[in-house]
Every structure is written in structure tokens, then in C-alpha cells.
Copies of this chain bind each other. A is one copy, B any other.
Amino acid sequence: MSVSAKDQELSRTMDQLGMRARQASRVLAGASEQQKNRALSAAADSLRQRLPEILAANARDMHEAREHGLSEALLDRLMLDAERVRAMARGLESIVELPDPVGRILAEWTPPNGLCIQRVSVPLGVIGIIYESRPNVTADAGALCLKAGNAVILRGGSESFHSSSAIHACLVYGLEAAGLPGDAIQMVPTTNRDAVGYLLANMTQYLDVLVPRGGKGLVARVEREARVPVLGHLEGICHVYVDATADPALARKIVVNSKMRRTGICGAAETLLLDRRADTALLGDLLDGLIEAGCEIRADQVLRESHPEFPLATEQDWSTEYLAPVISAAMVDGVEGAIKHIRRYGTGHTESVIARDQAIAERFLGAVDSAIVMHNASTQFADGGEFGMGAEVGIATGRLHARGPVGVEQLTSYKYVVRGSGQVRP
């Protein structure tokens, strides 16, 4: 096929996905809670029933991925086994338990003109989700969009294409079993890499929002090229500030957990800010905790005066999301110094203050303008599940519409329903 014939075929395929999604979104918007939940339960059953097909599809992806020389870390993300598939099914069932976020009366009032005004939650419409290798995102993200009454177009990594297709078939089965249009959850049916560019730039009439899930390269591209609003985050350079008033044992426990529980997630701490006035024993114990857990510490000049064994952090370190057992550490001038450092280098994701002094903690919580600010807790709690939101399609660091975990509630919009009795405007 010539290049332009290929382009034409791609644009036809993508526009059809878009049109079908828009159609389906109208049906979904009017679907009852029972119907949506029935679709999710049936999809969960289907995941369990089709386990052999899913594992076979995954084996095919794993085989190709090994041939392409994917790293062990990526292979692990891609790999499915019976337990992972069962966890996916349980994930869908946990979404059934969430309250329906659509049709809630968010506010209700009657101004002097006598109109009864309600602000009512409605679905966003059609959501595009672009993700990388984890095939379970297909189930999670598809189910969350469905629960919020949205149609969704999924585009996973090409390396997980067969696994995602097998999982997608279960979701479609669930929709149809509940009498809902299968087109409510669609997958881009090609691994053609140009499909991503098309989703970003040419589908403004079909997509209401895009959610990128993946590494910095993917998210940066989506933020740069997308012609529709994007909910997501580019980087999570999360800070933990340890005040001089911190409880030493609590500080050590939280710092180690924030950094080392899982180093590869966006809520992992990347920079430690230490109060200059803090007791050296407190600091020493805390740094020991990190070292014992296997963490490399890159220190600023001031910290190196007492700890010359640490390598010097460069300017670049303060802006680096390591996603690895490495932390940058700076001495700062109390809570104000911490706020200043975070304003300069933070990415607006999650920051935590460890302090016994309540006034200092409140100053930090008020002045640090991140999606999530914490006191005496690990940054690794930055997660929709831990927040009690059930699940999330990701964490957003933009300021509009949704900040922090993007759960079903954040996948809705609202409209005003106004009931009158013949009012005309004077």
C-alpha cells in the first residue's frame, strides 16, 4: 500500500472509532447504575472464564517482546499470570462497589427569580487513554470510564497488543451482556504508531479529554501535541521536609517508606529537605535508615560538611525524578526554606512535612501548592485506592478540573438543570 493509502486507511479507522465512541457515549450517559454494574460484573466473570485465551495472548506478546530484547523490568510489567488476571477481575468488582458518580445533585438553590437550579453531575463524554506496557490498564481504565458513564478509546503499548485485545474482548462481552453498546469501550485496532499522533491531533470532535499513563516521554508528547484537554502528570518530584520538631523515629520511618517502599511509582520521594536546626542525631539516624535500605544519597554542599561521604548533588539532581533507590538531600532554612525549594523545583505532585509543631505543619500545608500536601505521612499514599476513591486512571498535576488522583468522580463534568414556572427575564 502507498503511504497516502495507508494514511487514509488510518484516518478512516480512527474516525470510525471516534464516531462510534460518540454514539455510544450518549447511550452510556443515560445508562442506569444497575446496568453499568452488571456490565462490570459480567466482564469480571469473563476475565476468569477466558483465562486460558488471555494467558495465550500474553505468551505471544511476551515471546515477541523477548525477541525485541525488552528489559526484564518491562517484561515484568507485561507479564500476566492467573493471579494477575484474577486481580484484574477483583479490580472490576471493586469498581462495582463505588457509588455511581453520575446524576448526583452537587448543589441546588433558588435565586430571587424563583428558578430551581440544580448542578447535576454528568459524564465527561469520550475519553482517550494512551498507556504503555501494563495490560491491566486496559481493564482498570476501561472500567473506570464505564462506571462514570463515559465511552473510552484505549491505546495501549504495541508490545501488549494481544494481551490487551484479549482483555478488551471481556469488557465488550460485559457491556453487551448488560445491553450496553460494545462500542463504549474500544481499542485502537492497530499497532500502527501513527495512530497516537492521530488521536492527539485529529480527533478533537470525538474526544473530550485525553489521559496519558506512562513514562515522561509519552506524557511530554501528549502534553505537547494534544489538541484536547489532558489530565495527567509529567513528573512526580515529591519532597519530604523534616522539621527540627519532627519525632525522630517517625521521621525515619516515613522518609524510608516515602523513598524506598517502591521506588518506581510517581508518589516516591525524590528529594529530602532537612531543617538546618535539626538535631544532628535525628538527621544521622534518618540518613542511616535510607542507607540501610539501600538508598544512594546525593547531598548539597551544607549536608556534605557533616557527611563528606555523600556525592555532591548537582543542580540537575533537584529536578530529577530518579524512580530508583537514589535521593537528593538538601539542608534548608526551616519550613520557609523548604517552601522556597519546593516552589523552585517541585512538580506539583505530592509533598510531605514531618513535624511535631502544628503551626509549622499548617504553614507547609497552606503554602505548598501541590495536588497533595501531607503531614506526618508517607508520600507513597498518593494513590486513588489509598485515598478511598476505589481506583484511579492516574494522578493529575494540572490545576483545572482535577488535581491529584483521577477517580470516577473526576471523570465526570456537570450541567445545570433549571426548572421554572414560566419565568421570563425582565
Q: Is the CB of A415 within 8 A of B404?
A: yes
Task: Give Cα distance in the complex from A90 to B416, angstroms.
Answer: 28
Given known pairs A377-B115, A418-B377, the reply for A424 and B257 (CB within 8 Å) is yes
Q: How many copies does the complex hold?
A: 2
User: A375 an interface residue at 8 Å Cβ cutoff?
Assistant: yes
Q: Is the CB of B376 within 8 A of A421?
A: yes
| Chain B hits for A420, CB < 8 A | 374-378, 381
Question: How many A residues, CB 8 Å from partner?
Answer: 62
User: A370 an interface residue at 8 Å Cβ cutoff?
Assistant: yes
Closest to A209 in B: B400
Closest to A204 in B: B223
User: A291 an interface residue at 8 Å Cβ cutoff?
Assistant: no
Given known pairs A117-B387, A387-B111, A400-B400, the reply for A422 and B380 (CB within 8 Å) is no
CB distance from A93 to the nearest CB of B (A): 18
Q: Is the CB of A403 within 8 A of B399?
A: no
Q: Which of B111, B261, B399 contacts A424 (CB 8 A)?
A: B261
Q: Name the interface residues of A385-426: CB closer than 8 Å to any CB of B.
A: 386-388, 398-401, 403-404, 413-425
Task: Give Cα distance in the complex from A216 to B425, angstroms.
Answer: 25
Q: Is the CB of A386 within 8 A of B254?
A: no
Q: Which of B125, B256, B376 contacts A399 (CB 8 A)?
A: B125
Q: Is the CB of B417 within 8 A of A257?
A: no
Q: Name the interface residues of A136-181: CB closer than 8 Å to any CB of B.
A: none
Given known pairs A111-B388, A378-B424, A388-B117, the reply for A414 and B403 (CB within 8 Å) is yes
| Chain B hits for A423, CB < 8 A | 376-378, 381
The stretch among A80-88, A314-322, A361-369 that forms the contact with chain B is A361-369
Given known pairs A125-B399, A208-B400, A386-B111, the reply for A372 and B425 (CB within 8 Å) is no
Q: Is the CB of B424 within 8 A of A253?
A: yes
Q: Is the CB of B115 within 8 A of A416?
A: no
| Chain B hits for A365, CB < 8 A | 417, 419
| Chain B hits for A400, CB < 8 A | 124, 208-209, 229, 400-401, 413
Q: Is the CB of B261 within 8 A of A374?
A: no
Q: Is the CB of A415 within 8 A of B388?
A: no
| Chain B hits for A414, CB < 8 A | 403
Task: Give Cα distance in the complex from A418 to B417, angstroms.
Answer: 34
| Chain B hits for A370, CB < 8 A | 415
Task: Give Cα distance in the complex from A387 to B397, angstroms.
Answer: 31
Q: Is the CB of B388 within 8 A of A254?
A: no
Per-position contact with B for A92-118: 1 when CB-CB < 8 Å, else 0? 000000000000000001011101010
Closest to A377 in B: B420
Task: Give Cα distance in the complex from A423 to B361, angstroms.
Answer: 16
User: A250 an interface residue at 8 Å Cβ cutoff?
Assistant: yes
Closest to A413 in B: B399
| Chain B hits for A416, CB < 8 A | 371-373, 387, 403-404
Closest to A367 in B: B30
Per-position contact with B for A37-78: 1 when CB-CB < 8 Å, else 0? 000000000000000000000000000000000000000000
Q: What are 6 A-B contacts with C-beta separation under 8 Å?
A: A26-B343, A125-B369, A209-B400, A261-B425, A399-B413, A404-B415
User: Which 10 residue pairs of A and B lie closest in terms of their CB atoms, listed nearest first?
Assistant: A377-B420, A111-B388, A257-B424, A401-B401, A380-B425, A400-B401, A374-B418, A250-B422, A399-B413, A378-B424
Q: Which residues on A are within 8 Å of B, measured CB to CB? A: 26, 29-30, 109, 111-113, 115, 117, 122, 124-125, 208-209, 229, 247, 250, 253-254, 256-258, 261, 343, 361, 365-367, 369-378, 380-381, 386-388, 398-401, 403-404, 413-425
